A = this chain, B = another copy of it.
Amino acid sequence: MELQEGKDKFIQAWGTLGSQWGINRTMTQIHALLLVSAEPLSADNIMEQLQISRGNVNMNVRDLMDWGLVHKILKPGERKEFFSAEKDIWKVFKQVVKERRKRELEPVFNILSELQQVQGDPQDAEYKAFIESIEGIRKIASRADSTLDTLVKADENWFMGTLLKMMK
């Protein structure tokens, strides 16, 4: 298989996976394109390679920068902005975990603590079902939160080593 064909397949596949994850397809495609490009690319470059509009590139590149996955590169003497993706996949992975933790786990804690306020009769089966679900979710969310926190702060070798140990 030719390199260009491989790149295209990768970009398509990454886009499909992204959209299953609830992430904008174009965003993940741009990310994939930048990942497999040795040199930083300009907006025009991305537009051309992915056949998408300027506005679309601008928006999604901004989102990727918000996620900390892509950086703006200014070349001396060039007026255009260029963009480059973090190539260390372990860093990318940690960054994604960090963002998702912030965006997905925090709202869970907020709603759960609000729901602690619910009053009811401890004899009532409905009340018990409610309280037990809430408590169960809280417990697992807390553990998930500390685990992800550790992961985000961890060095790859340390974390992977520990994982291997615990799977023995």
Contacts and interface: CB of A to CB of B under 8 A. Distances in A.
Interface of A: 1-3, 5-7, 9-10, 13, 16-17, 19-23, 35-39, 87-90, 93, 103-104, 107-108, 111, 114-115, 117-120, 124-130, 132-134, 136-137, 139-140, 143, 146-147, 150, 160, 162-163, 165-167
Number of copies: 2
A117 B1 contact: yes
A21 B104 CA distance: 8
Contacts of A120: 3
Given A104-B20, A119-B2, A10 B89 contact: no
A137 B127 CA distance: 46
Given A89-B136, A143-B163, 4 more contacts: A13-B107, A38-B128, A39-B125, A90-B136
